[in-house]
Chains A and B, each alone.
Chain A
Amino acid sequence: MTAVAVSETEYVRRPLGGRLRISSAWLGAAPFLLYTGLFLFLPTVLVAVGAFSGPHGPTLANLAQLSRPYVVSAFLNSLVLSAVSASVGAVVGSVLAYAVATGSPDGILRRLVTAFCGVLSQFGGVTLAFAFIATIGTEGFIVIWLQQHGIRFYPNGVWLFSLTGLTLIYTYFEIPLMVIVFMPALDGIRPQWREATETLGGGTWHYWRHVAGPLLMPAFLGAWLLLFANAFSAYATAAALLDIGGVIVPLQISRALSSEVGLDQANFAAALALGMVVIVAIITLLYARLQRRSARWLPR
């Protein structure tokens, strides 16, 4: 994240402007505050309220349902899926980003990769599930091609439609996302640092271990968190890929939302959603603690 350099002196504390001036200045931000209030905070509040509401007023029953085994396993599945795909995505993505960043900054290759990553990081969803089904589904062309050469792609049963498959597919949009998020950090690495390391007697390993690694760590952790949240909330791919509902939390929410049983289920969905927010909050807190340690040196 780029730090915004703004001095907090002028404009705000003008002796003549007085109170009226300040309030008119605040008015400029009103449309934004109004909109985010209605479409960001109100929904969040509705979720929180919904989680504690039942047909007969306030209740903890919705939250109590979260302890059911299938809900717990959905949460665990979601956590593992997100952590693994975020980690793989972060590592592979930073390698790709490094390859791109060491090339010409205005080159065609960089433009292509960046545009490509822009599409793929957002175009996860349904498209992606189909793409993988067409590639390594039971009738996918790699599977068929290998079959024609006498090789079975799935010697131990098809895993594409399981969590394993989902993890693989998630890396497909996590890697490009990592490239986009991590590239600015790599661009900020100065060649002098490597050269200084070398003149001081350090080799490639020392450079990565003592200089580039620690320098990139805050950005890497931040990007990992983003990737985690991204995978954690991903829904479309799973919905298109998995026939059985409820394997991961977003699917459970979707099932609860579209169930015809009524308000109870809507409140259960809210409880699930609240659970997700809490988990993301916990991960964010852990991240903030790690970040404090890894980014002590950052100007603030």
Chain B
Amino acid sequence: MNRRRHRRLAAFKAVVYVVLGLFFLLPIAAMVEFATRGVGISSPRTLTAFTSIGSDPELVDAITASLELAVITSLGMLALLLPTMIWIRLRVPQMVRPVELVCLTPLTIPAIVLVVGFAPIYNWIEINVSDSILMLALAYLVLVLPYCYRALDAGLSAVDIRTLSEAARSLGASWATVMWRIIVPNMSSAVSNACLLCVAVVLGEFTVANLLNFENLQVAISILGTGNASVSIALAVVSLVFVFFFLLLLSFLGRALSRRRGGAARA
């Protein structure tokens, strides 16, 4: 690249990173600052808000529920979406477009609209099936559909699933083997991306849980906010940091996996 342009670009990038870095980091710093405030303005910094997170049983329940929901939704999403997407690509390609359209619909139907429709369905579920908060996973699956579809679609189009499956089938593999032993291992980073988005969406979800009267992590933070603001904000910080490192970890894991595989394939 041209040196002059290079310098200009570097300066531009520095400005962007500094300005936006401030915009994005200041509120988070403010949360930490607020959560560690003592009782008076001049009293020393304290971590009581953070330590008291674990001592509130209701809060612990909400956290556990959200984590469980994240796991269930991820697994459910993989079980529902992945086989379908692979299957239609291999066997009913004329359904690829319609399925894509269905998966992307939740982007244009606001969650709050879906909640209005969910309300009677959840009434029925509560009476006839279970009133457990884990039932929320059924609704969350819809919310994560577009994000996970995109992630998996990117992975699938990077792998030549047709050739892979034809090769495996010609060696006598069943359809199930083709899917789980041949295709999925070849798109592990897409799968981990999809899970990552799933976890981020579920742990950040508030609308559906709140309006259907379930208390998940975000609802708990919100309720707590009106009473004990510093604990509530401490919890928000913890969950933010947790998801951030989780995402970072997954992104490195995904890369390590695809590296190892890439290396093996080349060898």
Name A's B-contacting residues (CB within 8 A).
Answer: 1-2, 4-8, 11-12, 22, 25-26, 28-29, 31-32, 35-36, 38-40, 42-47, 50, 92, 95-96, 99, 102-103, 106, 111-112, 114-116, 118-128, 130-132, 134-135, 140-142, 172, 175-176, 184, 204, 226, 229-230, 232-233, 235-236, 239-240, 249-250, 253-254, 257-258, 266, 269-270, 272-274, 276-277, 280-281, 284
Contact = CB atoms under 8 A, between A and B. Distances in A.
Contact of B117 (A42, A134, A239): A42
A257 B116 contact: yes
Contact of A25 (B91, B225, B229): B91
29 contacts: A11-B91, A11-B92, A22-B92, A25-B91, A26-B92, A29-B92, A31-B80, A32-B84, A39-B121, A40-B102, A42-B117, A44-B113, A44-B117, A47-B116, A50-B116, A122-B204, A123-B240, A134-B30, A135-B26, A175-B20, A184-B154, A204-B5, A229-B110, A235-B206, A240-B225, A250-B110, A253-B112, A254-B211, A257-B211
Contact of B100 (A4, A96, A111): A4
Contact of B157 (A4, A31, A274): A4
Nearest to A284: B108
A240 B223 CA distance: 9
B181 to A, nearest CB: 18
Given A119-B240, A141-B33, A232-B110, A28 B88 contact: yes
B17 interface: yes
A253 B24 CA distance: 30
Given A118-B196, A141-B33, A102 B9 contact: yes
Sorted nearest first, the 7 A-B pairs with minimum C-beta distance are A43-B117, A233-B110, A236-B206, A131-B27, A135-B30, A134-B34, A28-B87
A236 B141 contact: no
Contacts of B150: 1
A223 B89 CA distance: 26
A211 to B, nearest CB: 15
Interface residues of B, number: 89
A38 to B, nearest CB: 8
A167 to B, nearest CB: 14
B204 A2 contact: no
Contacts of B196: 118
B53 interface: no
Interface stretch (B55-63, B126-134, B242-250): B242-250
A119 B200 contact: yes
Nearest to A106: B255
A92 B99 CA distance: 32
B47 to A, nearest CB: 16
* Most chain B CB inside 10 Å of its own CB: which residue of A40, A127, A172: A127
A172 B207 CA distance: 18
B113 A276 contact: yes
Question: Interface majority SS on B: helix, strand, loop or mixed?
Answer: helix
B89 A6 contact: yes
Contacts of B221: 126-127, 130
A6 B98 CA distance: 14
Interface in B63-99: 80-81, 83-84, 87-96, 99
A118 B151 CA distance: 13
Contacts, number: 257
Contacts of A29: 84, 87-88, 92, 95, 99
Given A6-B96, A50-B116, A92-B20, A130 B236 contact: yes
A42 B248 CA distance: 37
A39 B138 contact: yes
Nearest to A275: B113
A39 B141 contact: yes
Contacts of B118: 39, 43
Interface string B180-203: 000000000000000011001101
A239 B210 contact: yes
Contact of B218 (A2, A125, A142): A125
Query: Which has the most chain A C-beta neighbours within 10 Å: B17, B92, B121, B157?
Result: B92
B51 interface: no
Nearest to A50: B116
A258 B121 CA distance: 16
B262 interface: no
Nearest to A34: B80
Nearest to B139: A39
A96 B20 contact: yes
Given A123-B204, A123-B243, A46 B117 contact: yes
B116 to A, nearest CB: 4
A130 B110 contact: no
B112 A233 contact: yes
Given A28-B92, A175-B20, A276-B113, A112 B248 contact: yes
B13 A103 contact: yes
B256 interface: no
Contact of A127 (B80, B95, B110, B239): B239
Contacts of A32: 80-81, 84, 99
Contacts of B141: 35, 39
